Amino acid sequence: MGKKTIKINKTTTNNLITYGMVIAAFVIVQVLVASGHVSSLMKGLLVPLCIYVIMAVSLNLTVGILGELSLGHAGFMCVGAFASSFFSVCMKDTMPAGFRFFLAILIGALAAAVFGIIVGIPVLRLRGDYLAIVTLAFGEIIKNIVNVIYLGRDGNGFHISVKNAMALNMAEDGKLIINGAQGITGTPNNSTFIIGIILTLITLFIVLNLINSRSGRAIMAIRDNRIAAESVGINITKYKLMAFTVSASLAGIAGVLYAHNLSTLTATQKNFGYNQSIMILVFVVLGGIGNIRGSIIAAVVLTLLPELLRGLSDYRMLIYAIVLIVMMLFNWSPSIIAFRKRHSLKQLIFKKEAE
């Protein structure tokens, strides 16, 4: 009996390398934490790292794979965060913590997906700068709507107002859940690094499988040549909306992680505003548009770098800016790209075989 050889194609190999990279990073961090080599400050960054990786990978689906510029990604994160936080606070005393958090993740993802469909149907008819402006406006609108909502619950049910907390007219046993600009207080702290890594792997699994599926090839065909894709019968609206909705849903999952990592959740310019969306876009661009593995590395490096350079307070932002420039040159300079191709591991192997 001859031995059977199992051949793994290039796509599967690349995907396994990406999963392996995330799992290896998790194992290394766990070993460092167990041995006491990780400071409390760095421990506090572990969950945010997972959040930013999920955000970068999900935005790359819209920007890199679909080829549309979205500047409202933080808005979908905000929807997922507040929807899941509201559910968790309401169900705090009625459900086991693990099951409640699982449902909160589903609710956050579903709420963000619904908003993705609502925004995507009219917005995806636009292209280029117009699409970027409208998605940017959506992110700002969501943040401002959340800041004027007052919502409470008493024996008679839920009460909502956009005026102030007194306008809710609740009974004495009433509890204020969303307090306008002060947000939601008392969200259970269920987010952990392990859960973050699991959700990161799930995000990678969804995105990588979508990219390499028939639907993914249709999405990339639309990106490369819309008219040619339409001429061969590809439903442009369907596939664009699919990519946009999946991207929004994954941003909602990142929002769930974010909400359950804080005691008080507020919608400010810093966490759900324009700057947050731009920062996620920077991760995508520096990691390489369409390069999922690059998005992961860029998100991790650019999140950790300011904290690692905190000791060099006078030069911290200067070094950060230099790293941004170097990464941009490394990824996008034609001469460096040509040099990397000439001296890649694959080329070196081919040279040795030829000799």
The DSSP line for 20-35 is: HHHHHHHHHHHHHHHT
Percentage of the residues of the chain whose pLDDT score is greater than 70: 90
**Is the pLDDT confidence value at 5 over 70?**
no
pLDDT of residue 313: 65
Instruction: Give the pLDDT mean for 254-275.
Output: 87
pLDDT value at position 275? 83
Task: Return the SS3 of 8.
Answer: coil
Q: What is the mean pLDDT of residues 205-211?
A: 92
The mean pLDDT of 131-145, rounded to a whole number, is 87
Q: Specify whether the CB–CB gap between 89 and 187 falls below 8 A.
A: yes
Confidence check: pLDDT of 353 > 90: no
Report the range of poorest mean pLDDT among 17-26, 121-130, 269-278, 284-293. 121-130
How far is Cα 64 from Cα 52, in angstroms, rounded to an integer? 17
Quick check: 220 and 68 in contact, CB under 8 A? no
Q: Please give the pLDDT value at position 1.
A: 45
Stated pTM of the model: 0.87
Mean pLDDT calculated for residue range 18-26 = 91
pLDDT at 269 over 90: no
| Helix (H) or strand (E) segment spanning residue 229 | helix 226-231
User: pLDDT band at residue 352, thresholds of 50, 70 and 90?
Assistant: low
Distance of alpha carbon 318 from the chain centroid: 27
The token pair that represents 132 in the structure block: 């970027």
Q: What is the pLDDT of residue 44?
A: 85
Mean pLDDT of the region 143-149: 87
Residues 3-28, mean pLDDT to the nearest whole number: 79
What's the whole-number average pLDDT of the chain?
Answer: 84
* Tokens linked to 271: 């966490």
Residue 343 is predicted with a pLDDT of: 64
Which of residues 90 and 2 earns the better pLDDT score?
90
Residue 109 binned pLDDT confidence (cut-offs 50, 70, 90)? very high
pLDDT of residue 317: 67
- Confidence at 76, pLDDT banded by 50, 70, 90: very high
Question: What is the pLDDT, as a whole number, of residue 127?
Answer: 72
Q: What mean pLDDT is predicted for residues 77-106?
A: 89
pLDDT of residue 331: 66
Closest CA to 271 of 249, 248, 255, 295: 255
